[in-house]
Every structure is written in structure tokens, then in C-alpha cells.
Amino acid sequence: MVIGRRLLIITLFQILSLASFVSSEGIIYDGAMDSPMTPRFVTRARTFKVISGENLLLPCEVSNLGSSVLVWRKGSNLISAGHHLITSDKRFLLQSFNLQLRSAKITDQGDYTCQIGDGSLGDLIHTVEILIPPNLQIIPPDNQVTAKQGGSVLFECQANGNPVPIVQWSKKEGILPSGLQVESGSTLSLNDLQRQHAGTYQCTASNGIGQPATSDVKLQVLYPPEVHVVRSWYNTGDSLEVKLSCLVNADPPAEVLWYQNSFPLQPTDKRSITSSGTTSTLTIRNVQFSDFGNYSCVVLNSIGKDKKYVEISGKPGVAEIISPGFSNPNNYRLTWNVQSVFPIVEAKILYRRLLINTTYHHHDQWHDTIVRPNEVSFNSESTERLQQYQLNGLIADSVYECLVQTKSQYGYSELSNLHQWFTSRVGREIENGGFRLSPFFSTNLLFAVFIIYKFVHRY
């Protein structure tokens, strides 16, 4: 069978090697001459783009072929002669004189020539370009990178395909450390790493052929513990229960230790230490006076440690003054909220007048008075108390400021924030609930407002 095919090929090439053709009338035409019966190509040369794995049909239509033989070849490799396939590649088929290629692959790319006879009558050359969907590989190949806080990492995404893919980087959990949603390029460099930079980074390669290719790499950033307390101060009483909580962030995970006045605490029937997610909670039951004091939440891992303090006290919390920013000419109802399990036995009020005119201002002497405040309400659930006391003997048309400090059976609280207000002119009564100034109002701003106030109310 093989010998027969070889004889056929030799015979065909002997026919193709003739330098002239003989007409049906026996007239010899030289190959270089053209006649009405000369074979010619009907199909025009084209460039075909086919996706890898798909089929392709290369056309070659010829008029006046007569006894001439069509030959297909790729480069110098013969594919077919006439109606016979010469190549052993089973992916090639002949449909009439058209050449079909099945399951195209990258090695099929190149020029395909349809030739009449020995080529003296011309060639039809089709160019085939194989389009390849993108594929990629991330370096490092294990898709996991670990680095310390403050360090740097470099990710590389090697992408292939035809056309050459466009490579982009993104972060699944949000924006990139640069602040961008997407960055282009085969490499992604991250410097001065912080814990919020940890997460999954994705490389995407696309070239318009098929679906984009993606691959992920996970970044783990090791950092020392960071601890935050839910509350820095707890007010409680005898026989009650209190829960102290601290929020811990650390990688690698941190060990949490609780201390009371620098002494380490261990779980007992009276107290327990529990963890849930990033929260560590110290629960103290049946609180006694001996349980009052400073507690610390200490967290440590192989990178470092952190500490935050919490106080349990029977003293009142810091009073929050909620009185309005204007008062009647000679008296002012001072109102505040304070958190305290135990009753407030007294309050210390410090107040003074600010001496202000259009060019300067300075402070008068503090009035220091200890009073028994009126308790308007008490919320047993939140232990918040609403209290009042009326200051009398004020000077009209003035600016005042004050501080409040409350006391329970366990002692005085810390001083409140500074509160300021205006007294109105004589004859101008201000209703309760008027305009309230922020306790953080600066003296300079208060001075400016006061001057405007005096100017408006002069007329």
C-alpha cells in the first residue's frame, strides 16, 4: 500500500513537471502563455484567525482546472495532491479542493499554499493565525505568601495567549494598598505592609479570546497584637456582676492575660475568663469592695505585645453637663447626667465669670461650692442619674464657665468637661431649653459670639 502511494506521488509530480500543456486538439501551449482555457484561481488569498481547538476550512476554488492537479502544502511540507491526502495528520480533510483542518493548535499557524500543478500558473496563499485564550501562572506558585508588618512582597503573574493578554491585579476584599481598584502589569509590589493589607489578591489575564483567566494568591501579614477595651471604666456595686471585655487583633493569634492591680488572675468560682472570636471577657460575680481597682488586658504573640487598662469603681462616672447655652440674667439651672450605682451624696461645682469686652478677655476667680443636687430621675438599668442645681447671684449680660464633680460613698468622680453659657441682659428672661453650646466651645469663639450677641441685643 505504501509502495503504491509512493508510485502515485511520483507519477503526479512527473505530470506536474511538464513545462507545457497539450490541448484537446493536440496543440501545445507553453506554460508561460495565457489562453481562455488556462486554469486560474477564483478564491482570493486571505488571513484566517481561528481559536485553538476549533475547525477551519481553507477555500481554493479554481476555474478551467482541466487536467491540472491542485496541490496543498504548508511551507515545504506536502499536504495533498489532487484528491489524495499525502500527510499522515488525520486532522486534515479535503472537501472538493478546499482544505479542512480540525482541532487547530498553535503549531498549525503559518502560510498554506494552494498550487496549480508545479506552481508555474500561480499560487494561492492563505495565512492562518491561531488565537489562544489566556492562561496564567502566579509566582509564588503555592498561592500563599506570609510577611511581617512593615515588610514588602512582590507578586508576579506570567500570562500567555494570542493576542498577548492584558494583565491586571485586584484585591477581593476591597481596594489595593495603593488606593486603586485595579492595577495593570505583570507584577504587583506591596511595600510597608500593614495588617489591613492582608487578604486575597487576584490576577486577571484577558485578550478578548474566550473567558479571562484568573488566579489568586493569599497574603498573610504577621503583626503584633492590638488591643482595645470596650469600656475603660465600670461603675458597679456590692453583689452585682460586671463583665470587662477587650477586643484583640493579632496574627499569629495572641495569648490574653488578665491582671488586677498587676496581679495575674486565674478563673475561680467567682470569676471566669472566656473568649469569643476576637473578644476576651473577664466576668466578676458578686462584686465586693475588694474587686474595685485597675484591671489590665495584656495580649502577646511572637511579634510583640499590647496592654489596655479597665477600672472597676464605686465612684461616679464623669458628669455630662446638658444645660443650655443661655440663662436668665441672675440665675442658671445647671443640669447634668452622671452614671453611678450608688446615690450621689454631694456635688462640687466650680464656676467663674469671663471678663470680656471688644478688645480683651480674662478670667475671674473660681467660685467653689459643694451642694446637694436635686435628682430628677434614675435609670436602674443604665445606672444613669439626671441631676440639677440652680446657681444664683449671677451677673447679667456675662459669660460664665463651670465644672462639675460628683461624689458617692466611694469618693469623687473625675471633673466634667468645661461648660460655658451666657447670662441675658436685665429684663430679658430666657426660657429653659434654649440654645446649647458645645462643651468644647473655645473661649475665642465664645468671645466672638458674645460680642455679636451683645451687639444684636443692644437695639
CA–CA separation, 438 and 453 (whole Å): 17
**Do 148 and 102 fall into the same domain?**
no
Tell me, yes or no, whether 148 and 118 share the same domain: no
CA 255 to chain centre: 28
Pairing label, strands 361-363, 271-276: unpaired
Q: Residue 144's beta-bridge partner residues?
A: 218
**Integer Cα distance of 5 and 14 in angstroms:** 14
| Confidence (pLDDT) at 431 | 54
pLDDT reported for residue 31: 40
Residue 18's pLDDT is what?
A: 37
Same domain, 345 and 420: yes
Average pLDDT along the chain: 86
Same domain membership, residue 147 and residue 50? no
Domain extent for 375: 320-456
What is the Cβ-side half-sphere exposure of residue 205, based on CA atoms within 13 angstroms? Answer: 22
Same domain, 85 and 162: no
Of the candidates 251, 284, 313, which is a domain's last residue?
Answer: 313
Q: Are residues 26 and 105 in the same domain?
A: yes
Does residue 34 sit in the same domain as residue 158?
no
The whole-number pLDDT of residue 26 equals 32
Q: How many domains does the chain have?
A: 4
Residues 144, 123 within the same domain: no
pLDDT of residue 439: 42
Distances (CA, A) of 47 to 41, 61, 256: 16, 16, 70
Asked if residues 240 and 318 have their Cβ atoms less than 8 Å apart, the reply is no
pLDDT score recorded for residue 270: 92
Q: In angstroms, rounded to a whole number, what is the distance separating the alpha carbons of residues 264 and 278?
A: 21
Domain end (from 179, 199, 223): 223
- Domain at 185, CATH number: 2.60.40.10
Residue that finishes a domain, picked among 110, 132, 154: 132
Q: What torsion do the CA atoms of 337, 411, 400, 421 make, to the nearest 10 degrees? A: -10
Q: Is residue 315 exposed (0-12), middle (13-18) or buried (19+ Cβ within 10 Å)? A: buried
pLDDT of residue 362: 66
Give the number of C-alpha atoms closer than 13 A to the C-alpha of residue 244, restricted to the C-beta side.
Answer: 32
What pLDDT score does 355 carry? 81
Same domain, 389 and 269: no
pLDDT under 50: residue ranges of the chain:
1-34, 432-443, 445, 447, 455-457, 459
